[in-house]
């Protein structure tokens, strides 16, 4: 600018003009991006069916997810969600879980690649089987979890949490291209290719026998827990069936190419009609996972190790994996770490709330004796009381201890009992039955 | 026993309303067409098999796969570059599927079925470039983005594969947009808004060329 104007640099000074040079209404910049179109949205394959069903939707990242399906006469969300949970635990229900990230992992080194990104082993997984996997960040903190199935010798189908789908894809691409370029492995996002539904409850098989071709063996022997294979459906379509359970019930996940997702929701309603099938939303899904003690986003918070989550035994000692070395740092294996436990209010009628601090009973709350916090709560229709999960210092050694929950934000103080985080069917007989 | 029917439903089935939209009383400046009857398959070379994949592609399709951001036409498919040693095969539904392609590509490549993962929107008309300029940072001038040019880019924070197809019979340019299915309805509304001032003709087609 100095050269152009024939002056020295000090005379010219710093160029301070930036467009816009004249006032412009903010609305001109916002343009289309306002109200419902403030940002891009993602819709599940059964979205418009769920709208027809009167579902209440919740924003989950960019997604619109069915949160619950109110029925006439229900006075609040809790009544609807409680009905949905009871319907699943006592019969059968289904939920669109297509928002989970889905990745095709191909190539002769696919198993070796997964062994390096997960703390547990996948190269030994048999074709036709699914396994729960946990991955760490380089610093040893838990990154993401999900089930991954082996569909062929050189083809795994990996799932991620909804929230981390894009980030895990980036992480795995980085691992493939930069960290392990010697491995022959190819990754493709198939999140949008498959519509996936969880079907759960003791009558799941009854429903599936209506819709799956009768030649397919769905018995416990023919399709055991953690099985994963393609099946034929009545009416000519083929689907992938995974016997995995988040709810703790006998459950399958079924997936079909996404353009058949709308038809799948409608056909599940038809197939399940004799068994009182009930569509359920993310709230009921969350209630059942807390009842079952499964960790999710609030526990995979970027501060917890595998051991904190009660999953330390999954860390293989026979192979290397991302995060292995750093997970062994002193502070990350300290005996006084805050670990996941269950909590129950001593007053059975009391409502729990996430975020309350855990303090030793009888002490005045303060930073010096803060021993953790409540991560997830729900009203459990199964136990007929509020229950929760919490991260508590030395929690697993203190099962049965009464501690104090201090919630200065809501001005609440009450006692809770530390307990096993698996409130429901701790032996797992229902999901294996 | 219930009869189950499996009717595929486009991710744009609800949002797309055929006919005239936006400004009226002028000749529509933008034409938006959803092409429904197509199958994309993702092809990625296995480690060190790029040359072998190129050879297999030439044998199968008669031409080389693109090795730069370009789309190439074969008599019955379009091959679109998506990264080093990887590309998408687009064809009319049922023409090239996972099953028909596997014999030629197993060994040199991994195939991933994307046949339900995308929606395909074709944009043309006298104002197509003006409308796309609101959404895209790519220079779409004829000199910079000729027939066969392609880009893996984003519109409205949404990943898209954009390429220029053959011109319409009246000589106007055609821009094809491949968008992930779960984002399709959202992007469709954005595109319709962007085109509204020029007048829009909306249609869908079962014919992938």
**Chosen from B9, B94, B195 to mutate, greatest number of chain A CBs within 10 A:** B9
Write out the DSSP string of A255-278: EEEGGGHHHHHHHHHHHHGGGT-E
Q: Does B183 touch chain A (CB under 8 A)?
A: yes
Q: Do A263 and B8 touch (CB under 8 A)?
A: yes
User: Sorting pLDDT into bands at 50, 70 and 90, what band is A334?
Assistant: very high
The pLDDT mean for chain B works out to 95
Inform me whether the pLDDT recorded for A136 exceeds 70.
yes
Q: Do A32 and B113 touch (CB under 8 A)?
A: no
Percentage of residues in chain A with pLDDT exceeding 70? 100
Task: Tell me the C-alpha distance between A184 and A173, whole Å.
Answer: 13
Closest approach of A125 to chain B, Cα-based (Å): 20
Q: Do A270 and B181 touch (CB under 8 A)?
A: no
Q: What is the ipTM of this complex?
A: 0.96
CA angle B195, B196, B202 (to 5 degrees): 75
Give the residue range(s) of CATH 3.30.1360.120 domains in chain B: 19-36+116-205
Mean per-residue pLDDT, B70-88? 95
Percentage of residues in chain B with pLDDT exceeding 70? 99
- Identify the closest residue of chain B to A180 by CA–CA distance: B47
Q: Does A213 touch chain B (CB under 8 A)?
A: no
The predicted pLDDT at position B1 comes to: 63
Q: Does B1 touch chain A (CB under 8 A)?
A: yes
**pLDDT one-digit tens code per residue, A310-331:** 999 999 999 999 999 999 999 9
The predicted pLDDT at position A30 comes to: 86
Contacts of B119 in chain A (CB under 8 A): none
Closest approach of B143 to chain A, Cα-based (Å): 28
Q: Do B193 and A233 touch (CB under 8 A)?
A: no
Asked whether the beta carbons of A417 and A402 are under 8 A apart, the reply is yes
Least confident stretch, A28-37, A345-354, A375-384, B145-154: A28-37
Q: Do B115 and A257 touch (CB under 8 A)?
A: yes
Mean per-residue pLDDT, B53-58? 95
The predicted pLDDT at position B180 comes to: 98
Q: Which CATH architecture has domain B38-113?
A: 2-Layer Sandwich (3.30)
Q: Do B182 and A44 touch (CB under 8 A)?
A: yes
Q: B153 burial class (0-12, 13-18, 19+ CB within 10 angstroms)?
A: middle
Q: Does B99 touch chain A (CB under 8 A)?
A: no
Q: Is the dihedral of CA A431, A432, B2, B7 positive or negative?
A: positive
Angle between helix axes B98-105 and B50-61 (nearest 10 degrees) is: 130
Contacts of B117 in chain A (CB under 8 A): 190-193, 258
Q: Do B116 and A192 touch (CB under 8 A)?
A: yes
User: Sorting pLDDT into bands at 50, 70 and 90, what band is A185?
Assistant: very high
The predicted pLDDT at position A20 comes to: 81
Q: Does B117 touch chain A (CB under 8 A)?
A: yes
The predicted pLDDT at position A339 comes to: 98
Residue closest to A233 by CA, chosen among A199, A206, A264: A264
Q: What's the whole-model pTM score?
A: 0.94
Of A37, A190, A234, the CB nearest to B190: A37
Q: Does A370 touch chain B (CB under 8 A)?
A: no
Contacts of A256 in chain B (CB under 8 A): 6
Task: Tell me the C-alpha distance between A248 and A261, whole Å.
Answer: 24
The predicted pLDDT at position A31 comes to: 84
Q: Does B161 touch chain A (CB under 8 A)?
A: no
Mean per-residue pLDDT, A149-176? 97
The predicted pLDDT at position A28 comes to: 85
35-94 in chain B: CB under 8 A from chain A? 42, 44, 46-48
Give the residue range(s) of CATH 3.30.70.1400 domains in chain A: 101-189
Mean per-residue pLDDT, A156-174? 97
3-class DSSP state of A319? coil
Q: How many CB pairs under 8 A join A and B?
A: 135
Q: Does A39 touch chain B (CB under 8 A)?
A: yes
Closest approach of A137 to chain B, Cα-based (Å): 26
Q: Does B209 touch chain A (CB under 8 A)?
A: no
Helices (H) and strands (E) in chain B, counts: 4, 12
User: Sorting pLDDT into bands at 50, 70 and 90, what band is A144?
Assistant: very high
Task: Tell me the C-alpha distance between A37 and A10, whole Å.
Answer: 47
Q: Does B158 touch chain A (CB under 8 A)?
A: yes
User: Sorting pLDDT into bands at 50, 70 and 90, what band is A56?
Assistant: very high
Give the residue range(s) of CATH 3.30.70.1520 domains in chain B: 38-113
User: Sorting pLDDT into bands at 50, 70 and 90, what band is B174?
Assistant: very high
Task: Tell me the C-alpha distance between A276 and A213, whole Å.
Answer: 21
Q: What is the DSSP secondary structure assignment for residue B62, as one 8-state letter?
A: S
Contact residues for B58 (Cβ-Cβ < 8 A; gap 6+)? B64
Contacts of A237 in chain B (CB under 8 A): 6
**pLDDT one-digit tens code per residue, B176-193:** 999 999 999 999 999 999
Q: Which fold has domain A101-189?
A: Alpha-Beta Plaits (3.30.70)
Inform me whether the pLDDT recorded for B45 exceeds 80.
yes
Q: Do A258 and B116 touch (CB under 8 A)?
A: yes
**pLDDT one-digit tens code per residue, B93-120:** 889 999 999 999 999 999 999 999 999 9
The predicted pLDDT at position B72 comes to: 96
Of A39, A107, A210, the CB nearest to B46: A107
The predicted pLDDT at position B206 comes to: 84
Residue closest to A315 by CA, chosen among A123, A179, A120: A120
Contacts of A48 in chain B (CB under 8 A): 13-14
Q: Does A97 touch chain B (CB under 8 A)?
A: no
**pLDDT one-digit tens code per residue, A195-224:** 999 999 999 999 999 999 999 999 999 999
Closest approach of B180 to chain A, Cα-based (Å): 6
**pLDDT one-digit tens code per residue, A378-412:** 999 999 999 999 999 999 999 999 999 999 999 99
Q: Do A233 and B4 touch (CB under 8 A)?
A: yes
Q: Do A45 and B11 touch (CB under 8 A)?
A: yes
Give the residue range(s) of CATH 2.40.30.110 domains in chain A: 335-422
Helices (H) and strands (E) in chain A, counts: 11, 20
Q: For the domain A335-422, what is the CATH superfamily, name and number? A: Aminomethyltransferase beta-barrel domains (2.40.30.110)
**Which of these CATH numbers, 3.30.1360.120, 3.50.50.60, 3.40.630.10, 3.40.50.150, describes B19-36+116-205?**
3.30.1360.120
The predicted pLDDT at position B209 comes to: 65
Of B6, B9, B117, the CB nearest to A235: B6
The predicted pLDDT at position B3 comes to: 80
Tell me how far CA of residue B6 lies from CA of A259, A266, A270, B77, in angstroms. 9, 10, 13, 27
Q: Is the dihedral of CA A225, A226, A232, A237 positive or negative?
A: positive
Cis (ω within 30 of 0) for the bond into A20? yes
Q: Do B190 and A32 touch (CB under 8 A)?
A: yes
What order of strands is seen across the sheet that includes strand B30-35?
Answer: B19-21, B200-205, B30-35, B118-124, B174-180, B158-164, B150-155
Asked whether the beta carbons of A171 and A242 are under 8 A apart, the reply is no
Mean per-residue pLDDT, A138-160? 98
Q: Do B186 and A236 touch (CB under 8 A)?
A: no
Which residues pair with residue A58 across a beta bridge? A65
Q: Percentages helix, strand, coil for chain B, rounded to the nearest 5?
A: 20, 35, 45
The predicted pLDDT at position A13 comes to: 83
- Identify the closest residue of chain A to B187 by CA–CA distance: A40
Query: Tokens in use for A45?
Result: 């394959």
């Amino acid at each position: 600018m100095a050269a152009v104007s024939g002056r020295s640099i000090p005379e010219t000074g710093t160029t301070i003009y930036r467009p816009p040079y004249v006032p412009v209404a903010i609305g001109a910049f916002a343009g289309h991006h306002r109200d419902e179109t403030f940002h891009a949205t993602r819709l599940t394959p059964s979205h418009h069916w769920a709208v027809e069903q009167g579902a209440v939707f919740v924003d989950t990242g960019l997604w619109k997810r069915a949160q619950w399906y109110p029925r006439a006469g229900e006075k609040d969300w809790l009544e609807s969600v409680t009905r949905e949970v009871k319907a699943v635990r006592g019969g059968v229900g289904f939920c669109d879980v297509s928002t989970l990230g889905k990745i095709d992992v191909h190539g002769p080194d696919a198993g070796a690649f997964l062994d390096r990104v997960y703390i547990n082993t996948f190269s030994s997984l048999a074709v036709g089987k699914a396994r729960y996997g946990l991955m760490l960040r380089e610093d040893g903190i838990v990154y993401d979890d999900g089930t991954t199935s082996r569909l062929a010798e050189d083809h795994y189908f990996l799932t991620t949490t909804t929230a981390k789908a894009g980030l895990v894809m980036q992480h795995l691409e980085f691992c493939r291209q930069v960290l392990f370029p010697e491995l022959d492995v190819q990754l493709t996002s198939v999140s949008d290719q498959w519509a996936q539904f969880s079907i759960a409850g003791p009558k799941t098989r009854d429903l599936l026998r209506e819709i799956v071709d009768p030649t397919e063996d769905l018995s416990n022997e023919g399709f055991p827990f953690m099985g994963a294979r393609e099946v034929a459906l009545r009416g000519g379509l083929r689907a992938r069936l995974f016997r995995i359970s988040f709810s703790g019930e006998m459950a399958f996940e079924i997936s079909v190419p996404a353009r058949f997702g709308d038809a799948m929701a409608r056909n599940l309603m038809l197939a399940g009609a004799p068994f009182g099938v009930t569509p359920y939303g993310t709230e009921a899904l969350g209630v059942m996972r807390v009842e079952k003690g499964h960790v999710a986003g609030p526990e995979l918070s970027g501060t917890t190790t595998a051991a904190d989550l009660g999953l330390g035994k999954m860390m293989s000692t026979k192979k290397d994996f991302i995060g292995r070395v750093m997970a062994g740092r002193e502070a990350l294996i300290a005996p006084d770490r805050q670990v996941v436990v269950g909590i129950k209010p001593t007053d059975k009628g009391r409502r729990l709330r996430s975020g309350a601090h855990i303090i030793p009973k009888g002490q005045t709350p303060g930073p010096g004796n803060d021993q953790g916090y409540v991560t997830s709560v729900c009203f459990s229709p199964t136990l007929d009381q509020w229950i929760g999960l919490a991260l508590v210092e030395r929690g697993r050694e203190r099962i049965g201890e009464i501690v104090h929950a201090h919630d200065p934000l809501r001005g609440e103080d009450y006692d809770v009992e530390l307990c096993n985080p698996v409130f429901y069917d701790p032996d797992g007989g229902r999901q294996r039955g | 026993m219930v009869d189950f029917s499996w009717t595929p439903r486009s991710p744009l089935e609800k949002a797309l309303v055929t006919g005239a939209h936006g400004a009226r009383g002028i000749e529509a400046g933008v034409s938006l067409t959803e092409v429904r009857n197509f199958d994309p398959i993702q092809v990625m070379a296995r480690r060190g098999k790029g040359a072998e994949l190129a050879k297999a592609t030439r044998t199968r399709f008669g031409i080389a796969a693109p090795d730069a951001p370009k789309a190439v036409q074969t008599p019955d498919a379009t091959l679109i570059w998506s990264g080093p040693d990887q590309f998408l095969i687009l064809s009319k539904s049922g023409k090239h599927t996972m099953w028909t392609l596997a014999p030629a590509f197993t060994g040199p490549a991994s195939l991933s079925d994307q046949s339900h993962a995308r929606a395909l929107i074709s944009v043309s008309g006298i104002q197509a470039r003006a409308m796309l300029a609101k959404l895209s940072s790519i220079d779409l001038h004829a000199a910079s983005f000729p027939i066969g040019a392609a880009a893996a880019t984003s519109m409205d924070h949404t990943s898209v594969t954009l390429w220029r197809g053959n011109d319409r019979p009246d000589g106007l340019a055609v821009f094809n947009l491949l968008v992930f299915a779960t984002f399709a309805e959202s992007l469709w509304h954005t595109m319709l808004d962007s085109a509204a001032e020029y007048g829009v003709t909306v249609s869908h087609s079962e014919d992938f060329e």
